[in-house]
A = this chain, B = another copy of it.
Amino acid sequence: MSGFNTSDKPMDFFRGCTIFFDLKSGISETVDTGKRYLSQMRGIFADDAALDALLVNGDALVYEFHSLPVPEHEGDLAFGCSIVYPGKVGDEYFMTKGHFHTILDTAEVYYCLSGQGYMLLENKGGDYSAHELTPGKAVYVPKGYAHRSINTGLTEKLVTFFVFRADAGHDYGTIEQKGYGTLVVESDGVPAITDNPKWR
């Protein structure tokens, strides 16, 4: 790490550090990403038959993201990049599973670096909104809202830089069990909102 009197460790969250994330691709030289493949997204997309049909041709990478070993302390912040690949399952775009924070009343900031898509927000009372993401747009995910990144681009990855309170935690279970009430799908060639037929 270049600088003056910096730590010998590549990541030091107690004395400070720099970590590189490419401003276009989101890829870091310092840390690998966790990866989510199509086979791990069963039940998340509305059209199970379309998912099975895709899997015949191989287990596509749907998204990847950084999980840095930041201390899970209320004063710390976790950060990294999320990279959603282009693709569709039926008429539904490739997207992240989506999650609430375990400490529900904690926000998150996403800053779009490249690609295009939507951030779909939904709280436990059913209030939803879908915010367009293009390079340079920062999305505020408020306290209490599940959030999911959706890549509506046909060829390009959707790349965002995110920051959240390091002790917030991820609650994926609620979405895996209930789903989102609303979906972003392709309709007549453009993104549209529809009710989730699988919503419970």
A binding-site residues for B, Cβ under 8 Å: 1-7, 11-23, 70, 73-77, 79, 103, 105-109, 111, 113, 118-119, 121, 127-133, 135-143, 145, 161, 163-166, 184, 193
Contacts and interface: CB of A to CB of B under 8 A. Distances in A.
B18 A137 contact: yes
A11, A19, A118 — most chain B CB neighbours (10 Å): A19
A16 B129 contact: yes
A164 B75 CA distance: 9
A123 to B, nearest CB: 9
Given A129-B6, A165-B75, A141 B105 contact: no
B138 A75 contact: no
A16 B145 CA distance: 9
Specify which of A13, A76, A106, A136 lies most central, judged by the most chain B CB atoms within 10 Å of its CB: A136
B5 A106 contact: no
A130 to B, nearest CB: 4
8 contacts: A3-B130, A4-B129, A12-B142, A16-B142, A19-B140, A23-B135, A77-B107, A79-B138
